[in-house]
Amino acid sequence: MKSVSISELNRSLESASVIDVREDYEYQSGRVPGSKNIPIRDLAFNHTEYLEKGKEYYIICQSGSRSTQLISYLDKEGYDLINVLGGTGMYGLQYPLER
């Protein structure tokens, strides 16, 4: 599983496709700038509606647990998914979150 640190993600934000897999109420409380919210359950069971093969996606949650689970679950589907270590909890300690 590919993964990046918070600082690596922040350097790539302008061109990165970031998907936040937390629930909507969590996302509304603070998110990585430019990220898109698709709750884990929706993305896991409807991934063909949201993801394109050949495109790179950074997957983030609160701490890294849900994003790791999702990437492991979708690994066999052939998507280019990158786990963001530390999640939005760590991101918010180093950089401003959007609200």
Which of these is catalytic: 9, 59, 61, 84?
Answer: 61
d(C-alpha 85, C-alpha 64), whole Å:
6
The single-letter code of the amino acid at 68 is: T
Written as six digits, the tokens of 58 are 């950074």
CA atoms of 32 and 60, how far apart (whole Å) = 9
In eight-state DSSP terms, residue 96 is: P
Catalytic: 61? yes
Catalytic positions, please? Answer: 61
